[in-house]
Structure 1
Amino acid sequence: MLLHQSSGKWRLGLALSLLTVLLWGVLPIALKVTLQGLDPYTVTWFRFLMSFILVGVYLATRKQLPSREKLRSLPLRLLGVASVFLAFNYILYLLGLSYTNPANAQVLIQLAPVLMGLGGIYIFKERYTLMQWIGLGMLTLGFALFFNEQLKTLLTVQGKYLFGSGLIVIAAIVWAIYGLAQKQLLQQLTSANVMLLIYGICAVLFAPFAHPESILNLTPLQFCMLIFCGLNTVIAYGAFAESLEHWEASRVSAVLSTTPIVTLISVWMVALLFPTWIVKNNLTFLGVLGALLVVVGSMTVALGKKH
């Protein structure tokens, strides 16, 4: 099987990856507010439907919709895998988030880019240099320090909180499978065309479980957060898909690993400005040190040169 090869425009791939990090970093906060007024299935359906419409309109105006010939040549099984696993990722993450909090959700979802990076090394024959392996070690140590207290909580707490954490772990696993399938689909279509098809399939999958009428009962804040979540899906996943076109999956995953830093900073700022929205997380000295190691380790893996 012919495997997808990156374009080599690593600076563009890095910029797109950083945009994805920023948007995914603040997304859990918006989702947590939205879940106060909507069920997870309706939120997920709305995000996919809004994304499908916006991407479809964009491609139609630029006359870049996929042709019938390209659609016929698509590996339908691979498209199905990418769509179903992304759908599972969305709903499992949202269900897990409803039982836990944004910070801990981002702790566990970091399994996703790690697994995707390892999959990129195995499937797409990507290679790490010695410097990149050192960076991966720093990244691992950084996460161990940064999330020390949160991980202790996850191991000792019982009930719904632990159940939600388990759902997010599964969400991370299925996301990694989706990411690798998405990269291979770029062999036949552009990233925007691939995402259009995936969004449409996922919107259809969730339609039977959604309750659109409940959107009318949202408060202005909750409705704004819902719209933001939809726009976030389009821009963040569009940037992520395009980054895979220009950069190796292992390096993209390394940059995505810094997302919890953005989440925790965002949680702190929102809790400070709007204390009724969300609970603030307190960082210790080890947490700050871990954060620095995560950033340095991620950048080392991402920017390490090949021999």
Structure 2
Amino acid sequence: MSIHSTSGRWRLGLGLALLTTFLWGILPLGLAIILQALDVYTVTWFRFLIAFILLGGYLATRQQLPDIQKWRLMPWGLLAIATIFLAANYVLFLQGLALTSPTNAEVLIQLSPVLMGLGAIVFFKERYTRLQGLGLGVLTLGFSLFFNEQLRILVTASDQYLWGSFIIGVAAISWAIYALAQKQLLQQLPSTHIMWFIYGSCTILYLPIATPTAIFTLTPFQLLILLFCGLNTLIAYGAFAESLEHWEASRVSAVLALAPIITLIAVDLVALLFPLLIEPEHLTSLAIIGAILVVLGSMMIALGRKTWGA
């Protein structure tokens, strides 16, 4: 089986990866607010439903819906893998989050883009230059400093805390498998068709454990936040899928590593402007240095290429 190769339009791939990182970085704020009114399964089901409907409408208006007569030729095995592991990622992350803390969950889930990058090196024969290898070391050091306090807590934590952390680690593995399957699917299908199928399948998977009627009890503000979460899913995953078409998965994964930095900056900003909505994060000087190193390491990995391509 041939493997997917990028278009070489690295500037477009970088821009799409940055957009994905920003949207995933601010998403936890919206989820933290709406989860005060809805359960996690209903929120997740609604996010997939909105994304499925809007993307389907977009494809229909452009007459780009998948040809049903050609569905028998679709790579059902890879589509099933991508769908199941993305759905598993959502469930496992939520279960792990319930047993640990939001900050701990945020750092551990960052294993997912790292694992994606390593998987790309193994399966897609992508290679790091020396500068990118150095950048990976800087990135690792930055995360170690940035999450220093949380890592110390993890080492001395209770069995429940450790079990929750293990579940989040499995969630990260699930996401990496989904992402690698997504990249290989681009060999045969447009990214929009892949994501439309995954959105629809995940909507069906989550329906039995969701409570759709609870949405009618939301206030206008809560409904607006819920719609934001749904649109975030559509745009972020669409940009992510398209970025893999134009840029190597290992480079995309390096940019995605910036998401927790964006999250914590956004949390502090929203907490300053709307203190009743969310509590701020209190960063130490060591954490700030770590954040700078994370940004520097990600840039070294993303931009440290021998040749830029088209």
TM bin, normalised by shorter chain, reads over 0.9
- 2:117 counterpart residue number: 117
* Separation in structure 1 between the aligned mates of residue 271 and residue 190 of structure 2, nearest angstrom: 40
Contact 1:32 1:97 in 2 (8 A): no
* Separation in structure 2 between the aligned mates of residue 158 and residue 233 of structure 1, nearest angstrom: 34
* Separation in structure 2 between the aligned mates of residue 227 and residue 100 of structure 1, nearest angstrom: 27
* C-alpha deviation, 1:171, in angstroms: 1.4
* C-alpha deviation, 1:270, in angstroms: 1.7
- 2:83 counterpart residue number: 83
User: For residue 279 of structure 1, what is the amino acid of its counterpart?
Assistant: E
- 2:193 counterpart residue number: 193
- 1:232 counterpart residue number: 232
Which range moved further: 11-20 or 284-293? 284-293
Q: Secondary structure at the match of 2:300?
A: helix
- 1:46 counterpart residue number: 46
- 1:69-148 to 2 correspondences below 5 Å: 69-98=69-98, 100-148=100-148
- 2:5 counterpart residue number: 5
* Separation in structure 1 between the aligned mates of residue 222 and residue 59 of structure 2, nearest angstrom: 29
Contact 1:252 1:302 in 2 (8 A): yes
Contact 1:106 1:259 in 2 (8 A): no
* Separation in structure 2 between the aligned mates of residue 234 and residue 102 of structure 1, nearest angstrom: 23
* C-alpha deviation, 1:98, in angstroms: 4.7
* C-alpha deviation, 1:73, in angstroms: 1.6
Q: Deviations over 1:257-289 (max 9, x none)?
A: 011110010111122222222222111111111
* Separation in structure 1 between the aligned mates of residue 19 and residue 106 of structure 2, nearest angstrom: 17
* Separation in structure 1 between the aligned mates of residue 33 and residue 178 of structure 2, nearest angstrom: 27
* Separation in structure 2 between the aligned mates of residue 25 and residue 213 of structure 1, nearest angstrom: 29
User: For residue 171 of structure 1, what is the amino acid of its counterpart?
Assistant: A
- 2:22 counterpart residue number: 22
Contact 1:103 1:281 in 2 (8 A): no
When residues 277 and 67 of structure 1 are mapped into structure 2, their CA distance, relative to the original with a 3 A threshold, is: same
Alignment length (residue pairs)? 307
Contact 1:35 1:98 in 2 (8 A): no
When residues 29 and 101 of structure 1 are mapped into structure 2, their CA distance, relative to the original with a 3 A threshold, is: farther
Which range moved further: 122-131 or 263-272? 263-272
Q: Deviations over 1:62-90 (max 9, x none)?
A: 11111235422222111101001001112
User: For residue 232 of structure 2, what is the amino acid of its counterpart?
Assistant: N
Q: Deviations over 1:83-116 (max 9, x none)?
A: 0100111222234445555433321110000000
Which range moved further: 82-91 or 270-279? 270-279
2:261 aligned with 1:261, yes or no?
yes
- 2:55 counterpart residue number: 55
Q: Identity rate of aligned residues, in percent?
A: 63
* C-alpha deviation, 1:236, in angstroms: 0.2
- Structure 1: runs of 5+ lacking an equivalent: none
TM-score (norm 2): 0.94
Contact 1:145 1:290 in 2 (8 A): yes
* Separation in structure 2 between the aligned mates of residue 235 and residue 165 of structure 1, nearest angstrom: 29
* Separation in structure 1 between the aligned mates of residue 60 and residue 25 of structure 2, nearest angstrom: 30
Q: Secondary structure at the match of 2:112?
A: helix
* Separation in structure 2 between the aligned mates of residue 289 and residue 78 of structure 1, nearest angstrom: 41
* Separation in structure 2 between the aligned mates of residue 261 and residue 178 of structure 1, nearest angstrom: 23
Which range moved further: 166-175 or 134-143? 166-175
> For the aligned residues, what is the CA RMSD?
1.6
Contact 1:92 1:170 in 2 (8 A): yes
* Separation in structure 2 between the aligned mates of residue 129 and residue 160 of structure 1, nearest angstrom: 41
- 1:145-184 to 2 correspondences below 5 Å: 145-158=145-158, 162-184=162-184
User: For residue 55 of structure 1, what is the amino acid of its counterpart?
Assistant: L
* Separation in structure 1 between the aligned mates of residue 203 and residue 45 of structure 2, nearest angstrom: 5
* C-alpha deviation, 1:164, in angstroms: 4.2
